[in-house]
Structure 1
Amino acid sequence: MEKEARLFLEPLYPYITPNKLEIKLIQSKPLRRLKHLAHFGAGSFVSPVVHSRFEHTLGVWKLTALYFPEDIELRVAALLHDIGHLPFSHAVEKTLEFNHHQLTEQYILEDEVSSILEQYNINPNRMIEILNEPSVITGKEGILGIDHLDSFFRDTYMAGMIETLPKHLLHKIRCTPKGIDTDIETGHYLLQLILADHKLFLSPYMVAVDRLLAESIKLHWSVDSVNKSEFARLTDSVVVSMLKTSPSAEAKKLINTLIFEPNKIRINDINSGNGYEISVRKVYSKVPLYQGKPLTEHSNEARNIMKELHDLSFNSEVIIVSE
């Protein structure tokens, strides 16, 4: 195996041989930066789900290459789809008013990535078009796509919730122009993984740690001038170092609690006004197809799982206690 190809190894799917363009992209700084961004946000401080945005990107690329081996544009789009993510991924994006899709476009148009694409006769703007329209990567019309399929597989694998490795299921899964299509039994299993992942990352505790991280960053910004566009390009470790030495005592308290004393984090069901309000954020409620139609049109079990998913909700408060 070529030394460069080893960069494409990960545990969930069969090995796919990258082409020269894909190797050059994976060696670029915007792609390498993803190795230093936690896919699970601040949840990586307090859970076993510690894989990076890089492993997720490889997973999306592998699935895309498996189902569409000759579609070079789609394979490249899979590699580029997450390069605009902030430190700790989604954990701070909404609170700090960023849009990682816009940042992804910026990275694609900048010289390092665009010059690689143009060297292989791929128009950078075409990549942006693919990423901005519904596709098999995102899934169309409420159907599960490749991007979220990998997220649900990878999160539940890392959390020890998965019973069957994805590589042993792929022969039962295909990808249509709308998204993932499978048999009823496998479809139910995928929906159970989706529900399990949501119950984990949308639990009050996981939402709370993301909120505390975002608040730590906001407190730091309030006393120390920060260029937001430069912040968006940092890695997790740089942000942690910045917060641990912040002029804001409260910012330092929050980050040190997350790293060293998460046992002091408490969730109040009633908002007392003494902490930070938290509530369920976005639910990813796309479903697989069965014989070309949403699984929920065929199965009461699928409908019940989706109802349980949509019923996940809370309005609570997170506080830090002294022990």
Structure 2
Amino acid sequence: MKNKGGHSFQKQQIKLFSEPLYPYIQPNDLEIQLVQSKPLRRLKHLAHFGAGSLVSSVVHSRFEHTIGVWKLTALFFPEDMELRIAALLHDVGHLPFSHAVENTLQFNHHQLTEQYILEDEIASILKQFNMNPNKIIEILNAPSVITGNENILGIDHLDSFFRDTYMAGRIETLPKHLLHKIRCTSKGIETDLETGHYILRLILSDHKLFLSPHMVAVDRLLAESIKLHWSVDTVNKKDFARLTDSDVVSMLKASPSTEAKELINILLFAPNKIRINTAKTGNGYPISIRKVYSKVPLYKGKPLTEHSNEARKILEGLNQLSFDSEVLITSN
């Protein structure tokens, strides 16, 4: 019985920390407790791809991304427990649908992350293992290997680009087959020339998808639906920030605002009615390109773009993605 129980516990650990992109990393007791906490479990119910998850096949959650960032951090820095825990907690403050509504509704997920870490559930787990919550916040608020220093790619975005392109079917080589060519210095990700070019192509591919006019448009429509709901049904913004995606969808489907219900139903069931106008008519919602993540890997201790014309050419592609359009809803 004892061995069976131990085997069952081990299988449960594997389930909690399993995902398809990287080799399995053995978690410690602190990491297991954190992953079982409500703030971390909530991430399972937040789409990493924002409202784009409603209209595309890119449907992974903030939880899978978090596990990915933690795995890479543990792989590159196995003995740095504070950094490993910072990686595990770096996204706990995200809103429903992640970045889709953050700017439009004037939230800051970094501030919300600090609040979650200092609240009793997470703080008490950290203190139980003699870890200072404020130290974790300090790591997350400073440039680090997680975020990347200056213009150098960090672990957080590396996982995002790997994971998004994997889910979109745009990846040629699984990351676990590339990890022997990648390391992480104090500045950020470093690799060889060929692998660096491959990573940059994935970054461009991902941007072409999540910053396409259609994906930006569905994020805008979701935010507008929420604003329309709030105009007739006041919602405490603090409470809203702690909802899950399904909570928000249910709220909008039952909204007293007819316009809010119409928009969420179009996103859910009739996205073919969404139209992008490249010339603004004033009849739709304005949309434009959001933040571009143009950080690059290191090669021989310097940014890849300082060594390679091909790398510079790939990055030029990011600058050509800008647009200034509007989104409308058609009647058919």
TM-score class, shorter-chain normalisation, is over 0.9
Instruction: Determine the structure 1 residue equivalent to 2:55.
Output: 46
After TM superposition, give the deviation of residue 6 of structure 1 in Å: 1.8
Instruction: Determine the structure 1 residue equivalent to 2:137.
Output: 128
2:66 alignment partner, SS class: helix
Listed as ranges, the matches of 1:5-16 within 5 Å are: 5-16=14-25
Unaligned runs of 5+ in 2: 1-9
Deviates more, 1:89-98 or 1:4-13: 4-13
**Residue identity in the other structure for 1:42:** A
Equivalents in 1 of 2:210, 2:225: separation in Å?
20
Equivalents in 2 of 1:87, 1:2: separation in Å?
30
| Alignment counterpart, residue 74 of structure 1, candidates 80, 83, 98 | 83
Instruction: Determine the structure 1 residue equivalent to 2:101.
Output: 92
1:3 alignment partner, SS class: helix
Instruction: Determine the structure 1 residue equivalent to 2:150.
Output: 141
Instruction: Determine the structure 1 residue equivalent to 2:213.
Output: 204
Instruction: Determine the structure 2 residue equivalent to 1:299.
Output: 308
**Residue identity in the other structure for 1:83:** V
**Residue identity in the other structure for 2:240:** F
Does structure 2 conserve the Cα–Cα contact (< 8 Å) formed by 1:5 and 1:23?
A: no
Equivalents in 2 of 1:3, 1:173: separation in Å?
29
1:48 alignment partner, SS class: coil
Instruction: Determine the structure 1 residue equivalent to 2:230.
Output: 221
Equivalents in 1 of 2:204, 2:168: separation in Å?
13
Instruction: Determine the structure 2 residue equivalent to 1:308.
Output: 317
Instruction: Determine the structure 2 residue equivalent to 1:24.
Output: 33
2:261 alignment partner, SS class: helix
Per-residue displacement from partner, 1:96-148 (whole Å, max 9, x unpaired)? 00000000000000000000000000000000000000000000021000000
After TM superposition, give the deviation of residue 3 of structure 1 in Å: 1.6
TM-score for both structures, normalised by structure 2: 0.97
After TM superposition, give the deviation of residue 269 of structure 1 in Å: 0.6
After TM superposition, give the deviation of residue 310 of structure 1 in Å: 1.7
After TM superposition, give the deviation of residue 293 of structure 1 in Å: 0.2
Equivalents in 2 of 1:24, 1:312: separation in Å?
42
After TM superposition, give the deviation of residue 311 of structure 1 in Å: 2.0
TM-score for both structures, normalised by structure 1: 0.99
| Alignment counterpart, residue 160 of structure 1, candidates 165, 169, 173 | 169
Equivalents in 1 of 2:63, 2:242: separation in Å?
15
Instruction: Determine the structure 2 residue equivalent to 1:62.
Output: 71
Instruction: Determine the structure 1 residue equivalent to 2:3.
Output: none
Equivalents in 1 of 2:150, 2:47: separation in Å?
29
Instruction: Please tell me whether residue 277 in structure 1 is matched to residue 286 in structure 2.
Output: yes
Instruction: Determine the structure 2 residue equivalent to 1:243.
Output: 252
**Residue identity in the other structure for 2:154:** G
Does structure 2 conserve the Cα–Cα contact (< 8 Å) formed by 1:5 and 1:18?
A: no
Per-residue displacement from partner, 1:211-240 (whole Å, max 9, x unpaired)? 000000000000001000000000000100
- After superposing on structure 2, the runs of 4+ consecutive aligned residues of structure 1 that deviate more than 6 Å are none
Unaligned runs of 5+ in 1: none
Identity %: 80
**Residue identity in the other structure for 1:79:** L
| Alignment counterpart, residue 197 of structure 2, candidates 144, 164, 188 | 188
Equivalents in 2 of 1:127, 1:253: separation in Å?
42
Does structure 2 conserve the Cα–Cα contact (< 8 Å) formed by 1:244 and 1:252?
A: yes
